[in-house]
Amino acid sequence: MGMLRLIKNAGENDDSAMAGTGLLGLVSVVAENLALSLDNLRMRNIFEAASMRDHLTRLYNRRYMEDFMLQAMSRTKRTGKGLGLILLDVDQFKEFNDQWRHFAGDEVLKGIGKILLESLRDGDVPCRSGGEEFLLVLPDCSYEDALKKADDLRREILKLELKSDSGQRLKVTVSGGVAAFPGHGDNYRELYEKADQSLYRAKKTGRNRILGCDEKNL
């Protein structure tokens, strides 16, 4: 609800053509058009937010992430500061969904999204990049700090507990790969590929672990 307030100027002639019902009619037209414009603006903001966010986890989506990375990489190269990239993937998520159905799987993804939103710094950008995969961009962050943050998140997700329809406790683990600028690539694609390769090794060597590009195991 909004309010439109009009104040009559001192000394204005009440017999003018705009007085009385004529003025009220004009005000009504202006108010209706203003309300329509504001409503259109509100809806546009809603649609823009929806286009940037994943509806399930409320994290940013891949489309937003790719646009953000272009700006973040440009800024990082100017400032000379580091930039960390973390790739997290839920272990054996297909098997989890097959056993506990997609409702439980959705609850896992929402729980992880909540942890990421609450655990990162202002300026860090968490993204659901697809399925059960999450991509995190950490501006002004060294490789070592990105590794530590990734493992802290892994431990927090390990504490996540849900219940099945029958009351059974459900737990999941994640594996992760970490890369950083400038040591592991000069652009987003190179960093992503290095982090993805590290994630692949983490999966192959037992899951529930974080690996960096230097083979360091946390």
Per-residue pLDDT for 47 more than 60? Answer: no
pLDDT at 218: 46
N- to C-terminal Cα separation, the chain: 54
pLDDT at 170: 86
Distance of alpha carbon 1 from alpha carbon 31, whole angstroms:
12
Nearest partner of 210 among 156, 160, 134, 154, judged by Cα:
154
Per-residue pLDDT for 178 more than 90? Answer: yes
Q: Which listed residue (95, 132, 190, 193) is catalytic?
A: 132
- Model confidence pLDDT, tens digit, residues 104-161: 899 999 999 999 999 999 989 999 988 999 999 999 999 999 999 999 999 999 999 8
- Model confidence pLDDT, tens digit, residues 181-209: 988 988 889 999 999 999 999 999 999 99
Q: Compute the average pLDDT of residues 30-40.
A: 77
User: Between the CA of residue 133 and those of 28, 29, 70, 136, 204, what are the distances in Å?
Assistant: 52, 51, 20, 10, 16
pLDDT at 16: 57
pLDDT at 169: 86
- Model confidence pLDDT, tens digit, residues 48-72: 555 788 989 999 998 888 888 888 8
- Model confidence pLDDT, tens digit, residues 5-34: 877 776 666 555 555 667 778 888 888 878
118 is catalytic: no
Which segment of 34-38, 176-180, 199-203 scores lowest on mean pLDDT?
34-38
Q: Compute the average pLDDT of residues 31-47.
A: 71
Q: Three-state SS for 179?
A: strand
pLDDT at 212: 94
Q: Which pTM does this prediction carry?
A: 0.76
77 falls in which pLDDT band (50, 70, 90)? confident
Chain centre to alpha carbon of residue 211: 23
100 falls in which pLDDT band (50, 70, 90)? confident
